[in-house]
């Protein structure tokens, strides 16, 4: 049952400009942090300034530029961390998630892994897990049907899509994920990607390079 309005605040963090999102209910003043890229103190300060209490961290995938602030957030709030099933090795291996290449290695092992179609209840809402392998083998998107919101990570960007040349990536899987899993959502769904600007499913069905693969 929806309580208040869903508010979404973003910060661009880290060396490759990742969108870190704070989604919160404006009545409950509880929030969910999606893809905490880097600089945990900045994320924590945003929560304090808004008066929002974080309740969970959601990861769309396990690359360094989406996970480096997780340890800071867990230490501060003892938050549960969720990710897609299939990201276990990527999240736990600093070489595979590339964190050791760009700074201190990050290894995340206390993570709750979610299957395609799983639903979790946060902020008085149902967050549906959509498995979207391609950018990584265990990439997922998080869909809030009632709010018409999708957090797409590095699967779908505004008029673009995620690269597939990193460990566990697959171009074939990415095309299938976007066309068969995301383009079937209502066109008015607002898409919050891991990089660059917000878009909609309708816009991407018209202007994304992968639109040519639609059946």
- Is residue 126 within 8 Å of 1, Cβ to Cβ? no
pLDDT profile of the chain (215 residues), mean per 10: 81 93 95 94 96 97 92 93 95 84 80 97 97 98 97 98 94 98 98 97 98 89
CATH code (residue 107)? 3.60.15.10
- Report the alpha-carbon distance of residue 56 to residue 164 in Å, rounded: 28
Q: What is the pLDDT of residue 215?
A: 78
Q: What is the pLDDT of residue 3?
A: 56
SS3 140: strand
Q: What is the pLDDT of residue 138?
A: 97
**Residue in 159, 157, 121, 124 with CA at minimum distance from that of residue 139:** 157
209 DSSP 8-state letter: G
> Which residue range(s) make up the domain with 180?
6-213
The answer to the question of residue 160 being in a domain is yes
The answer to the question of residue 1 being in a domain is no
Q: How many domains is the chain partitioned into structurally?
A: 1
Q: What is the pLDDT of residue 2?
A: 55
The answer to the question of residue 177 being in a domain is yes
Q: What angle do CA 60, 162, 166 make, to 5 degrees?
A: 85
Q: What is the pLDDT of residue 181?
A: 98
Q: What is the pLDDT of residue 107?
A: 79
């Amino acid at each position: 049952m929806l309580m208040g309005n869903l508010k979404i605040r973003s910060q661009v963090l880290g060396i490759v400009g990742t969108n870190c999102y704070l989604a919160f209910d404006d009545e409950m003043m509880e929030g969910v942090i999606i893809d905490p890229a880097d600089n945990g103190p900045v994320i924590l300060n945003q929560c304090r300034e808004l008066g929002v209490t974080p309740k969970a961290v959601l990861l769309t995938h396990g690359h360094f530029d989406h996970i480096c602030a997780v340890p800071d957030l867990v230490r501060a709030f003892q938050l549960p961390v969720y990710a897609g099933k299939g990201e276990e090795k990527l999240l736990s291996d600093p070489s595979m998630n590339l964190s050791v290449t760009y700074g201190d290695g990050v290894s995340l092992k206390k993570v709750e892994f979610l299957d395609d179609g799983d639903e979790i209840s946060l902020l008085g809402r149902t967050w549906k897990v959509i498995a979207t392998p391609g950018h990584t083998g265990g990439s997922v998107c998080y869909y809030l049907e009632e709010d018409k919101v999708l957090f797409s990570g590095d699967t779908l960007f505004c008029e673009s899509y995620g690269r597939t040349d990193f460990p566990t990536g697959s171009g074939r899987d990415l095309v299938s994920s976007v066309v068969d899993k995301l383009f079937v959502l209502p066109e008015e769904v607002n898409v919050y990607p891991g990089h660059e600007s917000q878009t909609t499913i309708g816009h991407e069905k018209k202007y994304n390079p992968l639109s040519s693969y639609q059946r």
